[in-house]
Structure 1
Amino acid sequence: MENTGKELTLKLLIDKKSDKVLFGEANKDVVDFIFSLLALPLGAIAKLLKKDAMVGSIGQVYHSLGMLNETYILSKEKISSLVNPTLASTSNTKSNFLLSQSTHQDTKDRRLYVCYNPNYSSRSCRYVSEDPGVSCPNGHGLINTVAMFVPKSDVSSAVAVGSDGNGYVKGVVTYTVMDDLTVVPMSTISSITLLNKFQIKDLGSLEEKMVNIGFEEGLKLLKASLETKAVLTNVFLKKNRASNYA
């Protein structure tokens, strides 16, 4: 997997006494990336993080499936769909720069086949298949007519996602990202409330730090999100811990 060259920025508020990230200040792009982690199938996560970096046994499952000899598998296509999973275009995959463009599945490259036989044009048949040549359960013959996808109009898309275009959230506000990646809209009152929650008495102990989120940091955030509730602290502060996410 290659680095796309895209980098995001995140402003952290750090308590120097405890060497811990209290929370971060993020824009729409950062929040879209965080939410896009939910769209990743396990196969994509295992491929990104590699076997030895995975917690639990999913990495071993991924590795063993990829190592199976052709003698034991039904089809290469089915195995490929698991070890190299594609993501539907409805998942807003543009928000996640960890994935190469080849991982994204666009509707223009997708094929579905419908049951269509001129001799049975008076009868409605709703069966479809991802594989051509499958027999229609209604006895109409083979399901081998390519169906055409109709994309959403620009108007309907704008209504669905708002004026910000792609992604999951609107860019009309700044967002607070907690150490455990909890995301809420930011406000002055909420920031003061958080400082009280963390029992910060000495404002001099606080420090702002701007960090970049590129490909490597994105991988570390993904891995840390599966292992700890102190994600931002582990990735951006704790050098002894951060080395574990390389």
Structure 2
Amino acid sequence: MAATKISLKLLINKSTNKVLFAEANKDFVDFLFSLLALPLGAVVKILTHKHVVGSLGHLYRSLKNLSISHLQSKTNRDNLLNPYLPTALCQLLNQPEELRSLDYDYEHVKKGYVKEGFAYMVMDDLSVSPISTISSITVLSKFQVKDVGVLVEKTVRVGMDECIKILRFSMQSTTILSDVFLGAKIKRESDT
């Protein structure tokens, strides 16, 4: 099964190298909201593959390596190490259905979190709202954009790597879209 890729339109201020907002569809917004449904064990499992997760990574590995003879039950350990992953996240991370906990009732979220047929504005800090002409103009005013010549639209594809970066940066930053798609955080950290 091939991993799903989602298209996302970014409005970028070239002079500040920052994403003002992204125009997103249901798939991307469902992915973002599914992050709120992730158990901490799933976050550690996802991020540990490519990134250090501090002490939580050590805690996760300790439980994974602990002998069954020391545990109340193998099922409890398995539930902590392999917690439920929401449908939208499984699709983007190319994870099989088996990763979902069997005792979790996820029927109510199978269709996602937001309705089809609407466009959404996702701010750099991951705030989400319905998009409209008025809301777009309000954002330009908020960021004091006087010259629309400094704005550029860029379409990006969001796949597994970008999803993992969004998850990681969402716990460290308030400029997630800029950090992930423009390398802004990486550039700022190397400047210091």
Which TM-score tier does this pair reach, normalised by the shorter chain? 0.7 to 0.9
Q: How many angstroms does 1:84 deviate by?
A: 1.3
Number of residue equivalences? 184
Q: Answer 1 or 2: which has greater helix percent.
A: 2
Instruction: Select the structure of larger CA radius of gyration.
Output: 1
State the SS of the aligned residue for 2:36. helix
Q: How many angstroms does 1:239 deviate by?
A: 6.4
One of 144, 165, 177 as aligned partner of 1:199:
144
Corresponding residue for residue 96 of structure 2? 100
One of 166, 179, 182 as aligned partner of 1:221:
166
Instruction: Report the residue type matching 2:96 in the other structure.
Output: S
* Higher RCO (C-alpha under 8 Å, 6+ residues apart): 2
Corresponding residue for residue 124 of structure 1? none
Corresponding residue for residue 9 of structure 1? 7
1:222-237 equivalent positions in 2, closer than 5 A = 222-237=167-182
1:84-163 equivalent positions in 2, closer than 5 A = 84-87=82-85, 93-96=86-89, 97=91, 98=93, 99-106=95-102, 110=103
Corresponding residue for residue 136 of structure 1? none
Q: Which runs of 5+ in 1 are unaligned?
A: 88-92, 112-148
Runs of 4+ in 1 over 6 A off after TM superposition: none
Q: 1:82 to 1:105 in 2, by over 3 A?
A: closer
Q: Which runs of 5+ in 2 are unaligned?
A: none
RMSD (CA atoms): 2.6
Instruction: Report the residue type matching 2:171 in the other structure.
Output: L
After superposition, give the CA deviation of every residue in 1:137-163 in whole Å (9 maximum; x if it has no partner): xxxxxxxxxxxx9xx8xxxx7xxx8xx
Corresponding residue for residue 18 of structure 1? 16
- Whether the aligned pair in 2 keeps the contact of 1:51 and 1:62 (CA below 8 Å) is no
Corresponding residue for residue 61 of structure 1? 59
- Whether the aligned pair in 2 keeps the contact of 1:51 and 1:60 (CA below 8 Å) is no
Identity %: 46
- Whether the aligned pair in 2 keeps the contact of 1:26 and 1:174 (CA below 8 Å) is yes
Instruction: Report the residue type matching 1:58 in the other structure.
Output: L
Instruction: Report the residue type matching 2:87 in the other structure.
Output: K
Q: 1:217 to 1:236 in 2, by over 3 A?
A: same
Q: Report the more deviating stretch, 59-68 or 187-196.
A: 59-68
Q: How many angstroms does 1:58 deviate by?
A: 1.8
After superposition, give the CA deviation of every residue in 1:73-101 in whole Å (9 maximum; x if it has no partner): 222222111111235xxxxx222222432
TM-score by length of 1: 0.68
Q: How many angstroms does 1:201 deviate by?
A: 1.2
In structure 2, distance between residues paired with 1:229 and 1:240? 10
Q: 1:4 to 1:223 in 2, by over 3 A?
A: farther
State the SS of the aligned residue for 1:39. coil
Corresponding residue for residue 46 of structure 2? 48
State the SS of the aligned residue for 1:53. coil
Corresponding residue for residue 77 of structure 1? 75
Q: How many angstroms does 1:57 deviate by?
A: 2.5
Instruction: Report the residue type matching 1:70 in the other structure.
Output: I
One of 115, 137, 146 as aligned partner of 1:170:
115
TM-score by length of 2: 0.85
